Structure 1
Amino acid sequence: MTAAGVDVVARGASVRGPRGPVFEGVDLDVPAGGLLAAHGPAGSGRTSLLLALAGRMRLSGGTIRVGGHVLPADGRRVRGLVAIARAAPAVDLEGRLRVREVMAERCLTQPGVTERRIREAYETLALAPREADLVEDLGPADRLLLATALALAERPGALVVDDLDDGLPPDAHAPVWEALHRVRETGPTVLAGCLRPPPDTPGLTALLLPSRSRDRLPAATAAVREDADT
């Protein structure tokens, strides 16, 4: 059993830092059980946006609603709904630990997570890591999917995974996106950050975040790819 996915809506969402806008004027609608690909170059604010959608970064302007809960007033509820698989450097697996150790750590630190839930997540992702291996010795795809499995075992309403295509060889891109499709088919909404969205993906909400500059940022633009038979 998994938790039902939640919808994620943003209107004019913006975050400013000491050096100016991090991202600005983001509008998006991701349906429950949907897939978001927030894409753009390094420094475009992808990670910050995902953290804001997860209730882990305070907005400077605009609004975000997750499963009917509005940020920042309902921040605690949103944080309980959204699990973060990877959003480096804030959230990432410790490479010097072994797979079995990160599994044990997650069982101890996250209520409800058990080895059985983690192994069920492995099955969803078609992942079979050797538990004696160090995390840092895993290939980039397996390391990403391990982090995703651990977050999925929390049975969240939405799951964040950033830098999805970071370091992936070209032949690993399609299998990783297919694994994320299987995740959302089990229930949770998937919020992914990447350099480029996957091509020809039905039902994908693709959000382009522009490069930051000294001038005012243009608004991020979102597009939804509909199913081919709709």
Structure 2
Amino acid sequence: MTDSAIEVSGLRKAFGDKVVLEGIDLEVPAGTVFSLLGPNGAGKTTTVNVLTTLMAADGGTARVAGHDVATEAKAVRSVIGVTGQFAAVDELLTGQENLQLMVDLNRRSAGDDRRVVADLLERFELVESAQKPASTYSGGMRRKLDLAMTLVGNPRIIFLDEPTTGLDPRSRRTMWSIIRGLVADGVTIFLTTQYLEEADQLADRVAVLDQGRLVAQGTPEELKRLVPGTHVRLRFTTAAELDAAARILTDATRDDEALALRVPSDGGTKSLRALLDRLDEYAISAEEFSVHTPDLDDVFLALTGHSTEVAAK
């Protein structure tokens, strides 16, 4: 695999008169988590379908693990795993039988079968329900079984299309831990999600897709800096110190009850150093100092014009 696990240039896709992808470009370094965000209908699942060879693009190029998705589909499929929006498990089989089926399809050696299945059942906390039909599983258990089945082939690039939908908070955090473990082993994760906290927690890089176009890319911290609202909060021990600081920091907003000032800032080290030097110049000491930045909810709303609540519908 090259240093770039996924490379996309000018990718286009339309369904009749409806353009779903309008020439998107992106690059995913190997061994990282890349998260694609966007409201429903933005083109996230279409992007995943093209990159996993399930759908042909109308234009542009895409390479996965160095292989062209259009001309080397078999090679692409040999190195990827896909967990879609809906769990693809056989409800007539038990959890263990679903995993065993995937092992058989991946031509694992007979001596290795039991260990592979047992390890995955334990890793996904499915041991107690292993002998029960998948039809009796909760939605969250089905999602975990689905991802466990994806891992049977030991893929080096995994596409997770909204993988934690339907999971309770504890199961979501279990899934996050599993994803982090995969990345630590060198696996690349391409993640679409409706949970902004999930992208913030997991992603090395985030891209925001809206109406078929990428409107922003960067680390979560870089994207947060695109939205106004970053500020430094200074809290003082006395009203006299607050008054003195307010006189020299004229653009600050006062909170007399909390003895605090809110100072606009870009959050960068240069501006923070200048602020502290300014206070030191006048021998003013703050009791508490903290930097507050917009979260990815703010970024999502500012870039797409949609709240995350709308996107989740």
Q: Can you give the 5+ residue segments of structure 1 that lack an aligned partner in the other structure?
A: none
Identity of aligned residues (%): 21
In the aligned structure 2, how far is the partner of 1:115 from the partner of 1:192?
30
Name whichever of 76-85 and 193-202 sits farther off. Answer: 193-202
Name whichever of 95-104 and 60-69 sits farther off. Answer: 95-104
Which of 38, 46, 68 is the matching residue for 1:48? 46
Which 4+ residue blocks in structure 1 deviate beyond 6 angstroms? 3-6
Work out whether residues 126 and 179 of structure 1, in 8 Å CA contact, stay in contact via their aligned partners in 2: no
Select the structure of larger CA radius of gyration.
2
SS in 1 for 2:31: coil
Q: 1:11 maps to which residue? A: 9
In the aligned structure 1, how far is the partner of 2:3 from the partner of 2:121?
19
Higher helix content, 1 or 2: 2
Name whichever of 93-102 and 197-206 sits farther off. Answer: 197-206
Q: CA distance change for structure 1 residues 18 and 137 in 2, over 3 Å: closer, same or farther? A: farther
Q: 1:222 maps to which residue? A: 217
Q: 1:69 maps to which residue? A: 67
In the aligned structure 2, how far is the partner of 1:187 from the partner of 1:123?
21
Q: CA distance change for structure 1 residues 203 and 43 in 2, over 3 Å: closer, same or farther? A: closer
Structure of greater relative contact order (alpha carbons < 8 Å, 6+ residues apart): 1
Name whichever of 97-106 and 18-27 sits farther off. Answer: 18-27
Q: CA distance change for structure 1 residues 117 and 218 in 2, over 3 Å: closer, same or farther? A: same
Work out whether residues 35 and 203 of structure 2, in 8 Å CA contact, stay in contact via their aligned partners in 1: no
| Equivalent residue letter for 1:142 | M
Q: CA distance change for structure 1 residues 40 and 134 in 2, over 3 Å: closer, same or farther? A: farther
In the aligned structure 2, how far is the partner of 1:5 from the partner of 1:129?
40
SS in 1 for 2:78: helix
1:6 to partner: Cα distance: 6.7
Q: 1:145 maps to which residue? A: 144
Output aligned runs, 1:74-153, within 5 Å: 74-88=72-86, 92-112=88-108, 114-125=113-124, 128=127, 130-153=129-152
| Equivalent residue letter for 1:167 | G
RMSD: 2.8
1:108 to partner: Cα distance: 2.4
Output aligned runs, 1:32-47, within 5 Å: 32-47=30-45
Which of 19, 22, 25 is the matching residue for 2:20? 22
**Does 2:205 match 1:209?**
no
1:99 to partner: Cα distance: 0.8
Q: 1:159 maps to which residue? A: 158
Q: CA distance change for structure 1 residues 167 and 35 in 2, over 3 Å: closer, same or farther? A: same
Work out whether residues 15 and 59 of structure 1, in 8 Å CA contact, stay in contact via their aligned partners in 2: yes
| Equivalent residue letter for 2:186 | G
TM-score (norm: length of structure 1): 0.79
In the aligned structure 1, how far is the partner of 2:209 from the partner of 2:157?
21
Work out whether residues 27 and 220 of structure 1, in 8 Å CA contact, stay in contact via their aligned partners in 2: no
1:123 to partner: Cα distance: 4.7
CA shift digits 1:101-134 (9 cap, x unpaired): 2122212222338342233344555553521222
Work out whether residues 64 and 71 of structure 1, in 8 Å CA contact, stay in contact via their aligned partners in 2: yes
Q: CA distance change for structure 1 residues 129 and 80 in 2, over 3 Å: closer, same or farther? A: farther
Work out whether residues 100 and 117 of structure 2, in 8 Å CA contact, stay in contact via their aligned partners in 1: no
In the aligned structure 2, how far is the partner of 1:118 from the partner of 1:186?
19
Q: CA distance change for structure 1 residues 81 and 44 in 2, over 3 Å: closer, same or farther? A: same
1:203 to partner: Cα distance: 5.2
| Equivalent residue letter for 1:112 | R
CA shift digits 1:53-99 (9 cap, x unpaired): 222221112111111112312222111111213354xx722334321
SS in 2 for 1:219: strand
